[in-house]
Amino acid sequence: MAVKTRFYCQECGHVSPRWLGRCPDCGAWNSLVEEKLSPAPKSAPASGGTPVQPVTAVPGVREERFPTGLAELDRVLGGGVVPASLVLLGGDPGIGKSTLLLQMAHLMSAGQKPVLYVSGEESVSQVRMRAGRLGAGNPLLYLLAETDVERIAACVESLRPALVVVDSIQTIHRADLGSAPGSVGQVRECGARLMRLAKEGGAAVFLVGHVTKEGQLAGPRVLEHMVDTVLYFEGERHQSYRILRAVKNRFGSTNEIGVFEMQHCGLVEVPNPSALFTMHQRTAPVAGAAVVSALEGTRPLLVEIQALVSPTGFGMPRRMAAGVDYNRVALIMAVLEKRVGLHLGSHDAYVSAVGGVRLDEPAADLGVALALASSFRDRPVAEGTVVAGEIGLTGEIRPVSGVDRRVQEASRMGFKQCILPRGNLVQINGSGSLKIAGVETLAQAVELALSR
């Protein structure tokens, strides 16, 4: 009997009966690999099971969570770990994924909860060395170096831990599958087995996932679909700060972020990230810098945006953006040239958000515009000024959400003036000593912020 094979895309999981140079689904080149098809198990006749019932007849269950011991991680998860949940953590190599989960495992085991840490990439002695550096030495923290998913499941069923960490999902395999560990079939089947283990046993399972060179989680997209929460650990290798962000969360918001600092003793929480992302150590304001009051979920952040505008030495001006959307920067520059009269078409422009943070919300538009205008005119933004506002194509400043929390954070950090859309002024309950200025157009904001 001939062995049947299929070709699976390593990037998106697309299935093809023959090899193709380019995946027709995601467009990736040379990503299809051959895998043998295992015979489908015979399905048992349907009997018993859960009967169909109306939603009003299902008894309500109170949401239970247990803290991880890391407040920043609890914030991103939505208040703590939900029992019987499956969480996927991705990030670049060396960013600190294993360190974060080992610290979490230690803190949870210190709360008299048995925790199992499964390592498929390191030996038990190597994990013990890292645990000693992090101060993770609790007897309820169990270590296991294993790559067979069925052996892991047997250990979990005998130990009955409250938390299971699998580092990483790309190293786990099933012996009855002919493909190599990390392939599409292995990742999919091992992920499904660990999901059943979490749902049936009640233990929360954390999976570590590798990322591709594009920054996406490696393996099939079905892995992201079957888990309850997908977390990304972001940061620059040459910087000590790390940002934890949720891109999917069935039990909470996906707008929250957690900020950590990598030190010799492990990851340390940063409870006041506004002080991190703004530069208060300057003795005098400089041209090309503006502080924006951003909102990440329920957390207000003050982030400094820096811009450098200089005449180009080539025929085509160059634009670069780090931490902000490149297309949004190009749009703001066009509005500045058309509505404010700044001739930026013959100038290079470089825009960056301080501290490695990434700003996606439209409220950062006004900060980007003022930083560009400040650098172009070589005039600093008024000292102690913070801004927030979305810019339209006609040059209007549109209202933003959560303005009261933005204002309170700026007042707490000691700023003197806050430039906001005029439509948000009625939503402010109190600003303390902070002066509030409302603007309707971008031209008004530029003149107000750059006036001496």
What pLDDT, in 10s, does the model give residues 47-56?
Answer: 556 788 898 8
- C-alpha distances (whole Å) from 88 to each of 12, 66, 165, 261 are 17, 18, 10, 21
* pLDDT beyond 90 at 183: no
Residue 119 CA to residue 304 CA, distance in Å, equals: 40
pTM for this one?
0.79
Q: Which residues pair with 206 in a beta bridge?
A: 87, 165
pLDDT of residue 215: 59
Q: Which residues pair with 258 in a beta bridge?
A: 244
Q: Are strands 241-249 and 257-263 parallel, antiparallel or unpaired?
A: antiparallel
* Residue 97 annotated in ligand binding: yes
* pLDDT beyond 70 at 341: yes
* Residue 93 annotated in ligand binding: yes
* Residue 91 annotated in ligand binding: yes
CB 347 within 8 A of CB 312: yes
* Residue 399 annotated in ligand binding: no
pLDDT band with cut points at 50, 70 and 90 for residue 41: low
- Continuous H helices in 343-429: 365-377, 403-412
* Residue 148 annotated in ligand binding: no
* pLDDT beyond 90 at 207: yes
> Smallest Cα–Cα separation from 219: which of 26, 77, 20?
26
- Write out the two tokens for 232: 């990304």
Average pLDDT of span 258-283: 81
Average pLDDT of span 143-167: 95
* Residue 297 annotated in ligand binding: no
pLDDT of residue 339: 95
> Smallest Cα–Cα separation from 448: which of 422, 427, 419, 421?
419
pLDDT of residue 282: 60
Task: Note the pLDDT tens digit of each residue in 342-369.
Answer: 999 999 999 999 877 889 899 999 999 9
CB 265 within 8 A of CB 68: no
CB 129 within 8 A of CB 168: no
- Write out the two tokens for 385: 């000024």
Instruction: Give the whole-number percent of the chain exceeding pLDDT 90.
Output: 58
Instruction: Give the whole-number percent of the chain exceeding pLDDT 70.
Output: 92
CATH code of the region 65-271: 3.40.50.300
Task: Note the pLDDT tens digit of each residue in 235-266.
Answer: 876 778 888 999 899 998 888 889 999 988 89
pLDDT band with cut points at 50, 70 and 90 for residue 268: very high
Within 10 A of 197 (CB to CB), how many other CB atoms are there? Answer: 21
Q: What is the three-class DSSP state of 423?
A: helix
E strand or H helix at 387: strand 385-387
pLDDT of residue 452: 62
pLDDT band with cut points at 50, 70 and 90 for residue 281: low
Average pLDDT of span 404-423: 93
Task: Note the pLDDT tens digit of each residue in 426-442.
Answer: 988 877 789 999 999 99
Residue 82 CA to residue 78 CA, distance in Å, equals: 9
**What topology does CATH give the domain 276-450?**
Ribosomal Protein S5; domain 2 (3.30.230)
Judge if 65-271 and 276-450 fold alike in CATH terms.
Answer: no
Domain ranges of the chain: 5-36, 65-271, 276-450
User: What mean pLDDT is reported for the chain?
Assistant: 88
Q: Which residues pair with 331 in a beta bridge?
A: none
